[in-house]
Amino acid sequence: MNKNDLIIRIGGEGGEGIISVGDMITQACARAGLDVYTFKTFPAEIKGGYAMYQVRASTEPVYNQGDIFDVLCVFNGEAYELNKARLKPGNAFVYDSPGDFEPVIPEGVFAYPIPMTKTAKELNNPRAKNMVAMGALSILFNIPEAALREVIDTKFKRRGDAVVQGNLTAFERGRELALALKKTDPWIIGTPKESKRDVIVMSGNNAIGLGALIAGLEFFAAYPITPATEIAIYVSKHLPKRGGTLIQAEDEIAAISQVLGASYAGKKSMTSTSGPGLSLMSEMLGMAFMSETPCVVADVQRGGPSTGLPTKHEQSDLFLAVHGAHGDSGRIVLSVENVHDCIGLTVTAFNLAEKYQCPVILLSDGSLAFSTQSVPYPNPDDYPTVDRLRWDGQGEYHRYELTESGISPMADPGTPNGMHIATGLEHNPAGMPSYTGENHEIMQGKRFRKLNTVVNDMPPAEVDGEGAADVGVIAWGSTIGVVREALQRLRAEGIKVKGFYPKLLNPLPVQQFEDFGATCKRIVLPEVNFQGQLAHFVRAETTLRPVSYTICSGMPFTPEMIVNRVKEMLA
C-alpha cells in the first residue's frame, strides 16, 4: 500500500549521524518531488544526549510535523526507551540489533532488526552506522534510491572518492540486509505526482537570512544565541557576497545599537536573537521608535522565562515583542507560519520598517528554526522592496516634520543641508529637545499615527473555510500549520470549522478579527505558552472572547490535539 503521507522518526545519540540521515532522506524526497517537512529535537549540550529527526514526506502539501510517526528507527537504547511508549499497532519499527538494548515488540508493531553497529564495524567504517540504517530504510519504505545515492555523493564528495565509496558501500549493505527481511508492514512512501518541481529545501532560520538578503539587507549585527544563531551564520556566509557589512556584537544591546547606528547612516539593517536577547534590546527598541529609526529584529522564540528551555519550542515572546519597552513605545510585530513565510515576511518586515521608520519584530519559533521544508523556488524579483522616504533637498529640513501620515523624510549623513539629530529625548519637529506637555502629545500622536495604516500594507489575515462555523480556530506562528490539517480532518467528519491565521500581530487587525468572529459560534485559540498571550490581546482589543488553549511542553501542538479540543467544545 502506498501511503501518500509518511512520517519517519529517527532517534539516537547526538553525533551518530542522525541529523545527516534525516537531512539526506529529506533532500532525496524533495528531489524526487515530494513535499517535505522535518522536525528535530536535540539536547542543549554539545556532545551526546538524545537527538531526534523526523521527516514527513507527502505527495500532498504538508503543513506541520504530524501527529506521530508511522516508522520509528532507533540507533540505541536511549532512543528506544524515549519512544517505546509511542509505538502503536501498525507502526513499523527499525532498530539496531544486536545493540545496547533488547526491545519488547508490542503486538501489531512490525519489527525489523538491522545490525547497524555490527555491519559498520565489519566494514571497518563504524561511523557509517547511519548509512547502513539509511540503506535499510530505503528498501523497506521505498525512499527514492537514485536520489539518495546522488545526495550521498553530493554530501561526501568534497571529502574524496574513498569517503563517498565507503558510505555507498555501507548504504548498499543496509539495503541487502533489509532485502533479506520479509516486509510485513504496509508503509511505502508515495509516488510524487510531478517528479520535477522547482523547489528549495531550507530551515526557518536560513529562510529568514535569505528573506533579509532579498529585502536588500546591507548591515547585520548579532550575538550568538540558541535557537537563532543559524540566521547569523547564514547571513555571515552570504551577505559579504552582496557587498554588505556585518559584525558579531559583544552582546545583544550592542547588536541592536549597531543596527540603529547603521540604519541612521542610511543602511537597511537587522539583528536576530531569541527571547533573552530581545529582553536586552528593549530599551534600544524604544529609542528606535522615539528616534524613528528603521530596524528589523528577528526573534526566534524559545522556552522561557529566563534561560528556560533553550532548545525547545515555545510561542511566548508575544507580550515582550508588543510591549517590551518603557514608556509608550510602538512597534510592528509580524509572525511567520512556515519556511515560506520566513522568506516572504522577512521581506515585508524590512519594507514596513523602511516605510514607517520604526522597529519591526519578526517572530519565529524554536521548531520552525530547525524545521526544513520544501518550498517553491523563490524568485528574488517577485518580492517588491521598499526604501525609506528620503528628503528631496527642498526648503529647510526638519527631520520630524509633522505630516498627515506621520511619516517624515529621512536624510542620510552626507546629504547637503540635511544635518539633524536623531535623539531619544522628546523633541520638536526639528529634533530639538522639548519637554512641554503639548509637544509630547503632538509627537506621540505623530509616531503612533504612522501605525494606523500598517494593516493596509499586509494582505488580510487568511480565513480558512467559508460560511458559518460551529467552532473557529485562531492561530499564530507555526501552530497555524497544525490547525490547517486539524480543520481538514474535522471537515472530513462533517464538522463546521473555520480558521483565522493573522500574521500581523501588532497593530492587531481588529476589524478582521471581528469579521471572523461574527461567523463563528465559538472560538478557540491554541498557542504554545502558559498565559495565552495572543488570547489576552484579542480579549483586550476586540469583542471576541476566545477560549484559550495553551500548552508549554516544549513541543508544538499536533493536529490530533486540535481535533480533540474542537470536539470537546462541541460535546
Partner 1 sequence: MNAPVELKERFHQVELEPKDYRDGVASFWCPGCGHNGVLTSLLRALSEIGVDPQNLVSISGIGCSSRLPYFVRSYKMHTLHGRAGPVATGAQLARPDLAVVVTGGDGDGFSIGGGHMPHMARKNVNMTYILMDNHVYGLTKGQASPTSQRVMKAATTPYGGLEEPLDPILYMLTYGATFVGQAFAGNVKLASQLIKEGMEHKGFAFINLLSHCPSFNEIDTAKTFKSSCEQLDVGHDVTDVSVAIQVVQQAKKDGRMPTGLLYKVQRPTLDERMAELVQRVGGHKDYDLRKVIDLARP
Q: Name the site residues for partner 1 (rule: CB under 8 A).
A: 26-28, 30-31, 151, 199-202, 206, 210, 213-214, 218-219, 221, 238, 240-247, 249-251, 253-255, 257-267, 269, 283-284, 287, 291, 374, 377-378, 380, 413-425, 432-433
Least distance between partner 1 and beta carbon 338 (Å) = 15
- As a whole number of angstroms, the distance between CA 164 and CA 151 comes to 10
Least distance between partner 1 and beta carbon 10 (Å) = 18
521 three-class SS: strand
Residues, the chain? 571
- In the complex with partner 1, the residue whose CB is nearer, 226 or 245, is 245
- As a whole number of angstroms, the distance between CA 559 and CA 554 comes to 16
- As a whole number of angstroms, the distance between CA 334 and CA 195 comes to 35
Q: Which of 38, 63, 42, 10 is nearest to 372 (CA)?
A: 38
Is residue 296 within 8 Å of 351, Cβ to Cβ?
no
Helix H, strand E, coil C: the string for 294-360 is: CEEEEEEECECCCCCECCCCCCCCHHHHHHCCCCCCCCEEEECCCHHHHHHHHHHHHHHHHHHCCEE
Least distance between partner 1 and beta carbon 253 (Å) = 7
- In the complex with partner 1, the residue whose CB is nearer, 386 or 508, is 386
Least distance between partner 1 and beta carbon 251 (Å) = 6
- In the complex with partner 1, the residue whose CB is nearer, 244 or 409, is 244
- In the complex with partner 1, the residue whose CB is nearer, 284 or 562, is 284
Least distance between partner 1 and beta carbon 416 (Å) = 6
Could you say which DSSP state residue 510 is in? H
Ramachandran area for residue 543 (φ above 0: left; ψ -120 to 50: alpha; else beta): alpha
Least distance between partner 1 and beta carbon 34 (Å) = 10
- In the complex with partner 1, the residue whose CB is nearer, 15 or 433, is 433
- In the complex with partner 1, the residue whose CB is nearer, 261 or 429, is 261
Is residue 464 within 8 Å of 458, Cβ to Cβ?
no
- In the complex with partner 1, the residue whose CB is nearer, 266 or 330, is 266
Least distance between partner 1 and beta carbon 120 (Å) = 26
Least distance between partner 1 and beta carbon 259 (Å) = 6
- In the complex with partner 1, the residue whose CB is nearer, 114 or 221, is 221
Which three cell numbers mark 488? 481538514
Full DSSP string of 177-223: HHHTSPP-S---BPPPSSS---EEEEEHHHHHHHHHHHHT--EEEE-
Is residue 417 within 8 Å of 395, Cβ to Cβ?
no
